[in-house]
Amino acid sequence: MDRAWLHAWEGMIPVHTPKEAAEWELAHASEGAGVQVCVKPEMGEAYCLRSGIVEGGETGVLQGAFQYLASQRLGKPLPQGMQQPCYALRMLNCWDNMDGSIERGYSGPSLWFSEGRVQFVPQRIQWAARLLSSCGVNVVCINNVNVREPAQELIDSMLPDVASLAALFRAYGIRLMLSVDFSHPLRNGLPTADPLDARVQAWWRERARRVYEAIPDLAGFLVKADSEHRPGPFTYGRNHAEGANMLASAIAPFGGVLVWRAFVYNCQQDWRDQKTDRPMAAYQTYMPLDGCFSDNVILQVKHGPFDFQVREPLSPLLLGMQKTHLCLEVQLAQEYTGHQIDLYTMPPMWAEVMEELPQDRLCAVCAVGNLGSGPFLTGHPLAAVNLYAFGRFGWQPHMDVAACIRDWVRLSYALSPEDTETLCGVLLKSRAVYESYTGSLGLCWMVTPGFHYGPSPMGYEYDSWGTYHRADRNAVGIDRTEKGTGYVLQYPAEMQEKYGKKENCPDTLLLFFHRMRYTDRMRDGRTVIQRLYDDHFDGAQQTREMQRVLQAIPFPAAVGQAVNQCMEKQVRNAQEWCDVSNSFFHRLSGIEDEKGRIIYD
């Protein structure tokens, strides 16, 4: 076991409830000396702070204690009035597998699974729960949405082990959730998993009873169905409301919620097909079902219509479904955004989402986790800013992004004011830098197939998953206007006007919505091809500059070494993207770079 990972303790912190955890935190911090904890159960997760007093609900007092200490350490005044989260469910969705691997995980093995079993070091779980709670997360789904054997046993023979894990998280005000296999009844002797079959319904009711008997405060079940070859209601000719409502009915008596992922991309298509458009799939599947889901069903929708690409527009489903409980899904695990090697600070992206999304459209937020048992928990030590910011985002979705990042830096490292601002500046611009050398102008899916780190401009171009940019010798991009695939028509009228006309469309999404000739002029006067060249060259150069700046920041030795190693990899990755992408477009177009820079043929 890596003892350094356990921070300062060799043993367990002696706490069993959020109140005890709050009292421990205050008692073991100089800033919390003499502060009293007052529990008022009716306040739930809310809290109020006054000098010397933390008042709140059963879990709210712990959030209040963390905020009290943070305010003191940051030199900020205590927040005034009652503080409560915007969203009742703020979930970390971990894609951990029972063998200890993590799908799209870049931070080491699972914290709680190994060798096909629930196995964990209690101190590590307590450390992780403490960290997540301090950020504001209140639910953790511990297993992969792609439920593979023997993960089905988590709601069967492994329930006692899951209950032990739940107790460690419960002490920090965090409830567990479990991903379940829609076809699970087939593994238990039933001939069908049809959600309208009375035998299936009875089986899930009995299973839910057993699960909640072991873990009374389980938040609920999470389901991925009919996507990427996962089983689901489509197998039986049923729709997703019928599938979700059946499971929701089983857990409703115990206060559970059924989170149903709106990821239904089995729209396999022939690359020659010019009309089928993958980003349209979720809307086409779910909009006809708006208002058909049970009250304890939450539809979990990715922030964009594709799949966590570097840049996507807001998913139209988030705007269209107004009679359904919705959860916004983002991905902290940097599957397409640098594998937690390359810097990619995410809060600016979330701020853009919230600019277009009315706050009352959501009841929950969820993030695909970036946790692992490696020495820095999030792989790259600076990737922890995304985990911290996500937790704060669940409380204040319209937060000041720069202030949030600055708070994380100040709470994490003892830097001078000048070095603090320097690091904040690098983190704030990191997303734009990564975008410049990978996904300029809204281009998607130019990554190495399967692995998704590094460039491969044609890697997915003839793939059956609808991941195309259709670059040829004259033009690049997809026409998603009314005259093209019609995707833009899934948006409200004002957004159709924004995205559907080239002159209105933001440069960052130009080639997502429009097909452009390389010689077409953009608003700044540059041609499309010159903008592509410039962005890739600039991205590589700015990555080298970020490396230089970060090398001068006096991090603790282990952190500095890890940051330097990651930046060396990022510099190589950025240069590879620059050279491969520019050569790709140069070979297609035959147009030279106006600035005469080296492009390899």
Q: At what angle do helices 198-214 and 159-170 cross, to 10 degrees?
A: 50
356 is catalytic: no
Q: What does DSSP say about strands 516-517 and 475-476: parallel, antiparallel, or unpaired?
A: antiparallel
Q: How far is it between the farthest Cα atoms of the chain?
A: 72
CA-nearest of 208, 119, 188 to 158 is 119
CA 443 to chain centre: 20
Query: For 527, which DSSP code?
Result: B
Residue type, 85: P
3-class DSSP string for 551-594: HCCCCCHHHHHHHHHHHHHHHHHHHHHHHHHHHHHHHHHCCCCC
Q: At what angle do helices 122-135 and 159-170 cross, to 10 degrees?
A: 50
Dihedral sign for Cα 249, 250, 256, 261, please: negative
What number of other Cβ atoms are within 10 A of residue 69's Cβ? Answer: 21
Q: How far apart are CA 332 and CA 157, in angstroms?
A: 31
228 is catalytic: yes
3-class DSSP string for 43-107: HCCCEEEECCEEEECCCHHHHHHHHHHHHHHHCCCCCCCCECCCCCEEEEECCECCCCCECCCCC
335 is catalytic: yes
Phi–psi pair at 216, nearest 5 degrees? -60, -25
Q: How far apart are CA 118 and CA 151, in angstroms?
A: 10
DSSP of 307-363:
SS-SS-PPPHHHHH--SS-EEEEEE-S-TTTTTTTS----HHHHHHHHHHS-GGG-S
Tokens for 123? Answer: 């101190």
Helix (H) or strand (E) holding 198: helix 198-214
Strand partners, 521: 527
Q: What does DSSP say about strands 257-261 and 220-223: parallel, antiparallel, or unpaired?
A: parallel
Q: How far apart are CA 306 and CA 304, in angstroms?
A: 6
CA-nearest of 159, 139, 138 to 150 is 159
Residue type, 9: W
CA-nearest of 86, 72, 141 to 110 is 141
Burial call 230-261: b when 16+ CB within 10 Å, e when fewer: bbbbbebebbbbbbbbbbbbbbbebebbbbbb
Tokens for 155? Answer: 């709601």
In sequence order, what are the residues at sequence separation of 6 or more whose Cβ sits closer than 8 angstroms to the Cβ of residue 507?
A: 441, 522, 523, 531
Active-site entry in 23, 45, 307, 534? 307
Burial class, 590, CB count within 10 angstroms (exposed 0-12 / middle 13-18 / buried 19+): exposed
In sequence order, what are the residues at sequence separation of 6 or more whose Cβ sits closer than 8 angstroms to the Cβ of residue 447?
A: 336, 438, 453, 454, 455, 456, 459, 460
Active-site entry in 55, 96, 181, 335? 335
Tokens for 453? Answer: 């780190």
Active-site entry in 31, 149, 228, 545? 228
**Residues annotated as part of the active site:** 228, 307, 335
